[in-house]
Structure 1
């Protein structure tokens, strides 16, 4: 992948861009092997790779510049906007709309937020593209001052961008390096973006989490489903379930699946997907994963965990160590926190593992591990 921004020193986010891709994959695989300790009996499947460019289904763009010439990209060291509209990472559904979106921002007179002077309104533009090419747009504002103006100009944007299905305003009033705030204001009747992954339709709401690489995420869910079927559990928990990707792929006749997620919005989305698929044996609950596990009357046969980068933490790892769970499927985006969690679960041993290369050109690694009890 060639990038003019990288070569000019404008953006260095793709830290490994100059390294051959096969070397990148080997380095990420080595990091995962070190995290797991390469114990006897562990079977590594070949890494899953996808496109090296045009793979990101979401863009998180800082808005800078002026109201007549807004920039969409990042900030430089002085806090000024750097335009990255031609970034080669975004799916075409996203990159193709950035120019007309910038023109619309100017037409709607949405003043970019200037970090050094703390003046302006529009802080970020957040875009997500579905496999069908539909778009979700979120405008992160300092206040609601421009809300009426946005509503007035929205029909023009919808006419220019017919793929725009979901739009909202997020209010983030703090002068801080925080992407979004707690308040979300819908702009369109639709508030969910349909993400078609394998045979499952997931529904993303404005604040829902989803992997940034749709093709590799689909492979992740397929691999998880295959290993779960290999173990053939009667009961499954999907902790940190998000919008239900693992839980919905784990569903099978006669199998009881429970997904737990702290976000009530994500749970509502997961429930909608389960209803569409007619999955009577799948349920979703809003709550803290660790609290749910610690207070449950009975442990399941298999637990799926897909924690944030910080990992499971000592409480949940300790519960898994002491529980009667027979198998754990751990999806990790951070080999370091995975290694810490495994150290707190000494009776568990990795049986199967696979690197899924979600983030080409970076050091980030996603690994799926099937754990079984020692002995």
Structure 2
């Protein structure tokens, strides 16, 4: 992938860009295999490769510059704005929204936040695009001071971007480089952005996490569903379930599937999707480890999709002594994956696949199936 920002040294986020994509995937899989070498019986599927460009479904843009000339992108080492609105990672449907959104900042007089001077209002612009081209736009602000102006000019933006489905403000008052705050103010009647993957129409709310590579996320869920259907468990949990991607793809008649996630916003997204689909999957908000340890017994299958820190010693120890026949572990960090696997010696990894969720970087997703015995 050619990128003039990388070539000019303005942005180095894609720090593996100079390597051919095939070599990137080979290096990622080699590194993961080395970490999982203590389990030589592990069978590896062919890696799942991503498109080189245009694969990101979400833009997280620092807003700098001035009201009259906003800059959407990142900050350089000196704190100056770098315009990344033409970053080749963004698909056309996402990139086309940046010009109207930039003009909207000027129309609504949203002063970009200056971190060093501690003045201004608008910190970030977060834009998500669905597979059908619909948009969710979130303005991260220090306060609600610009709310009236945003509401006044929102009809203009909606006329410019008829694909705008969800719009909201996120209030983050701290003088820190924190992406977003807890308070969200919806500006549209519609509250969710549909993200359809293989017939499962996930409903994404503003503060819900979703993988940034839609095509690879779909491949991840397809592989999980295939392995789960082969196992045919009658009961399963989806821990760290997010918006319910694994649970909703793997749910089936006669299979009790329950998801647990710390984010109440994500759980509401999952419940909305399950209701629309008529799915048998159920969801609740809670800490995955605390919730699991409080249950009288484990189901036949447990799906875990933890953050980079992994599931940790408590949950690993509980799974090790539980009656669960299988664990499906989705990991973005094979270091903590290997640590967690070592803490569950009775659950042997039998199948794995690497998915290139984040091309041009060292990051990936790896899905591993563990069986007891």
Alpha-carbon separation, structure 2, partners of 1:269 and 1:115: 33
Q: Distance in 1 between matches of 2:183 and 2:44?
A: 44
Which of structure 1's runs of 4+ aligned residues deviate more than 3 A?
A: none
Residue in 2 aligned with 1:205?
205
1:60 — aligned with what? 60
CA RMSD of superposed structures (Å) = 1.0
Q: Tell me how far 1:104 sits from its aligned partner.
A: 1.4
Task: Specify the alignment match of 2:355 in structure 1.
Answer: 356
- Is it true that 1:131 corresponds to 2:127 in the alignment? no
Aligned residue in 2 for 1:318: 317
Kindly indicate whether the alpha-carbon contact (under 8 Å) linking 1:15 and 1:362 is maintained by their aligned counterparts in 2: yes
Deviation larger for 338-347 or 322-331: 338-347
User: What is the match of residue 255 of structure 1?
Assistant: 255
Q: TM-score, normalising length from structure 1?
A: 0.98
- 1:95-151, Cα deviation, whole Å (9 max, x unpaired): 111112111111211110011211110000000000110000000001111111111
The question of whether the paired residues in 1 share the 8 Å contact of 2:141 and 2:169 is answered with: yes
Offset, 1:38: 5.6
User: Matched residue of 2:243: which SS?
Assistant: coil
Structure 2 residue matching 1:101: 3-state secondary structure: helix
Q: Which moved more, 1:269-278 or 1:200-209?
A: 269-278
Aligned residue for 1:259, secondary structure, equals strand
**Number of equivalenced pairs:** 373
Residue by residue, what CA displacement relative to the aligned partner does 1:333-356 show, whole Å, maximum 9, x if unpaired?
111111121122222221000011
Aligned match of 1:122: 122
Quote the offset at 1:321 in angstroms: 1.1
Partner of 1:295: 294
Deviation at 1:298, TM superposition (A): 1.8
Q: Normalised by the size of structure 2, how large is the TM-score? A: 0.98
Matches within 5 A, 1:189-268: 189-268=189-268
For residues 202 and 72 of structure 2, what CA distance do their matches in structure 1 show?
28
The separation in 1 between residues aligned to 2:217 and 2:322, in whole angstroms, is 29
Once residues 276 and 296 of structure 2 are traced to their aligned partners in structure 1, the CA distance between those partners, rounded to angstroms, is 29
Match runs of 1:85-124 below 5 Å: 85-124=85-124
Q: Any conservation in 2 of the 1:134–1:163 contact (CA below 8 Å)?
A: yes
How many Å separate the matches in 2 of 1:267 and 1:156?
33
User: Residues 44-94 of structure 1: CA distance to partner in whole angstroms, max 9, x if unpaired?
Assistant: 110111211000000000000111111000011122211111100012111
Alignment partners' CA distance in 2, 1:220 and 1:226: 10
1: CA distance between counterparts of 2:82 and 2:320?
A: 48
Say if 1:80 and 1:114, in contact at 8 Å, map to a contact too: no
Segments of 5+ residues of structure 1 without an aligned counterpart are: none
Unaligned stretches of 5+ residues in structure 2: none
Q: What's the secondary structure of 1:230's corresponding residue?
A: helix
CA distance in 2, matches of 1:16, 1:307: 25
Please name the residue that 2:41 is paired with: 41
Query: Could you list the per-position Cα deviations for residues 221-266 of structure 1 after superposition, in whole angstroms to 9, with x for gaps in the alignment?
Result: 0000000011111110000111111001111121111111112222
1:275 equivalent in alignment to 2:282: no
Where in structure 2 are the equivalents of 1:165-176 lying within 5 Å? 165-176=165-176
Match of 1:347?
A: 346
